[in-house]
Amino acid sequence: MKQSDIFQILLYLVLLIALAIPLGRYMFKVYTGERTLLDPVLRPLERMIYRLAGINSEKEMGWRQYTVTFLVFHVLGIVLLFGIELLQGYLPFNPRQFGAVSPLHLAFNTAVSFNTNTNWQAYGGESTMSYFTQMAGLTVHNFLSAAAGMVVVIALTRGLARRTAETIGNFWVDLTRTVLWILLPFCVVGALVLVSQGVIQNLSPYLDVQTLEGAKQTIAMGPVASQEIIKELGTNGGGFFNANSAHPFENPTPLTNLIEMLAILVIPVALTFTFGHMVGNIRQGRAIFAAMLVLFVLLLGVCYTGEMAGNPQIASLGVSGPSVMEGKEVRFGVVNSALWATVTTATSCGAVNAMHDSLTPLAGLVPLLQIMLGEVVFGGVGSGLYAMLVFVILTVFIVGLMVGRTPEYLGKKIESREMKMATLAVLIPAAMILIGAGLASVTMAGTASVLNPGPHGLSEMLYAFSSQTGNNGSAFAGLTANTPFYDWLGAVAMLIGRFGVIVPVLAIAGSMAGKKTVAPGPGTFETTGPLFTVMLAATVMIVGALTFFPALALGPIVEQLLMLAGKAF
């Protein structure tokens, strides 16, 4: 392991935490309605939005109303984006004169993808989408789907923090405040910084240039910076270009690479602190953060080690040293590619700066496993923390009994209703991944798309369904994704993976809000110390990972063993 690599990783983590702590505090103020610096500008704007939309911002919602509103909002969002895609040919800002996004299953898959914060892209951005679709369709949903995830975790946090309450907040207010106070300001600043580093932002037609060798090349243009920053900040991951953040116009320099990686994790990390503030005990948030960090460092270690060790067969050729540079950008190198891969799949981001298909099997296992765990290692904006809170509930329930009391979290008793919902939230995505990949692996429609034989092909199918169900959106590549089978079933996976978790989570928020709080004392199960952190991490690994261990054994694990034995796929 190189010292400079360790230094880079540490620098990244230190910067990340240093940014997340104040942001966590700031978001706490935003969601509890405390005064912030931006209030003079944003308050009137907020009031105007409510007046135009006819929203009573004073009236809070019970969990059922909150959920229904949430679902209706998403159905409308999908319909709208689907419409824009189909009518693209008639809409402005279309210099390349792209027609409707087709085939139909691709348009639908994309509409679902951007509404569920997945940003699975079965298309190449620069060759399919007009500037209008990119901006009014995709970028808008980059904001809204991110905000929707954050809103859910805030509702859950309120449920845990409140005492015998009927309501968990107002969906419209939470959504509006998330966009206005958190996402927009940071995106404006972030986009400008990216532009300063060379990320493009224009509406000009694509350039046709003559290369040095004399060949003609078309260079895609577009409003990239504005979409780039929310792509990361909202853990969306939908690249403007097909090459995503490996493309020099999206991610030109090591500095932009660092900024973009920070943008991916800063909100998920900050939310753990926001959570601590909201439940009135910052240590509660810190314990969850610590468990996430432990898992993150562990998995990053595996990924980095896998890449550094590389493929012995390539090493024996003596071309580029043992470390694997296939599928990587030279300007990022191994460490930043491994770090990015871990970061992007720890969250539900899915933006990539290197091709995951080319990772060594062991390193490729890490992104896959992180998604399968439910993206709880920091996770997507909002979605990571609420999924982790589901694991917290499971952990508290399983080991909490050992102190001789019925389990409680933050003073709330965990009873059968919460267990039912928590179990569903874990069960539903796991079932979708396994059934989806299982179907793919034994049907022609599934296996025909696979470009690599053997265990690597299995990894590709597993990754496709994990990524979509987990609303990650990163692609392992090596799989022809734009087929009716993968588009339709993938859309279903994304919907189930998103709402199959959110609805139970909101139900937990509702039932927890209504409960009395039990007084803490020396007999109370501690959810703040290092012991809890370890147990939470262990529960995630045991309950989460064991579910997928058989599948993983036949995919990346056996592939790694085969590679070491001299076979590659």
Partner 1 sequence: MQKIDSRESFESQRKGDTPLRGMSSTQREISAGRRESLGSAGSAQGSTRGKGGFNSAILSRAVIDSFSKLNPRVLWKSPVMFVVEITAVLTTFFSLRDVVNGQAVWFDAQIAAWLWITVLFANFAEALAEGRGKAQADSLRRARSETLAKKLTGAQVEEIPSSRLRKGDMVLVEAGDFIPGDGEVIEGIASVDESAITGESAPVIRESGGDRSSVTGGTRVLSDWIKVRITANPGETFLDRMIHLVEGARRQKTPNEIALSILLVGLTIIFLLAVATLEPFAIYSGTLASVPVLAALLVCLIPTTIGGLLSAIGIAGMDRLLKGNVLAMSGRAVEAAGDVDVLLLDKTGTITLGNRMATEFVAASGVSPERLAGAAQLASLADETPEGRSIVILAKEKFNLRERDMSGLKAEFVPFSAHHRMSGVNLEGREIRKGAGDAIEKYLGERGGTIPPEVKSAIEDIAKKGGTPLVVAEDVKVLGVIYLKDVVKGGIKERFAQLRRMGIKTVMITGDNPLTAAAIAAEAGVDDFLAEATPEAKLKLIRRYQDDGHLVAMTGDGTNDAPALAQADVGVAMNSGTQAAKEAGNMVDLDSNPTKLIEVVETGKQLLMTRGSLTTFSIANDVAKYFAIIPALFTATYPELGTLNVMGLATPQSAILSAVIFNALIIVALVPLALRGVTYRPLGAAAILRRNMLIYGLGGLIAPFAGIKLIDLLIAALGLA
Which residues in this chain contact partner 1 in the complex, by CB under 8 A? 394, 397-407, 411, 414-416, 418-420, 423-424, 426-427, 430-431, 434-435, 437-439, 441-442, 447, 454-455, 457-458, 516-519, 521-526, 529, 531, 535, 538, 542-543, 546-551, 553-555, 557-558, 561-562, 564-565
Cβ at position 567, least distance to partner 1 in Å: 8
The residues near 540 (Cβ < 8 Å, ≥ 6 apart) are 291, 295, 373, 376, 388, 391
Kindly tell me which of 343 and 424 has the beta carbon lying closer to partner 1: 424
Residue 380 to residue 224: CA distance in whole angstroms: 22
3-state secondary structure of 112: helix
Which structure tokens are listed for 279? 């439940």
* Token pair listed for 332: 């990022």
Pick 210 or 416: Cβ nearer partner 1:
416
Alpha-carbon separation of residue 110 from 98, 231, 436, 488, 563 (angstroms): 16, 15, 18, 10, 35
* List of residues 6+ apart from 345 with CB closer than 8 A: 366, 367, 368, 370, 371, 375, 472, 474
In sequence order, what are the beta bridge partners of 31?
none
Q: Minimum distance between the CB of residue 47 and partner 1, rounded to whole angstroms?
A: 38
> Shortest gap between Cβ of 392 and partner 1 (angstroms)?
14
CA dihedral 141, 94, 128, 244 (to 10 degrees): -60
Nearer to partner 1, 268 or 429 (CB): 429
- Using the minimum distance from each CB to partner 1, give the nearer residue, 156 or 422: 422
CA distance 350 to 274: 24
Are the C-beta atoms of 122 and 481 separated by less than 8 Å? yes
CB closer to partner 1, 179 vs 410: 410
Question: Between residues 71 and 541, which has the closer beta carbon with respect to partner 1?
Answer: 541
Residues 6+ apart with CB under 8 A from 295: 373, 376, 377, 537, 540, 541
CB of 470 to partner 1, least distance (A): 16
**What span, in angstroms and rounded, lies between the C-alpha atoms of 376 and 391?**
9
CB of 281 to partner 1, least distance (A): 15
Query: Which amino acid is present at 9?
Result: I
User: Which is nearer to partner 1, 238 or 555 (by Cβ)?
Assistant: 555
- Comparing CB distances to partner 1, the nearer of 91 and 564 is 564
Contacts of 356 (CB under 8 A, 6+ apart): 327, 341, 364, 367, 463, 474, 475, 476, 477
Q: Cα(219)–Cα(222) distance, rounded to whole angstroms? A: 10
Smallest separation, CB 467 to partner 1 (Å):
17
Least distance CB 554 / partner 1 (angstroms): 5
Give dist(CA 483, CA 445) in Å, integer: 8
Which of 215, 519 has the CB closer to partner 1? 519
What residue spans of 373-413 are helical by DSSP H?
383-400
Smallest distance from the beta carbon of 444 to partner 1, in angstroms?
12
CB of 68 to partner 1, least distance (A): 25
Is there a contact between 469 and 494 (Cβ–Cβ < 8 Å)? yes
C-beta of 197 vs 528, nearer to partner 1: 528
Report the nearest approach of partner 1 to the CB of residue 452 (Å). 12
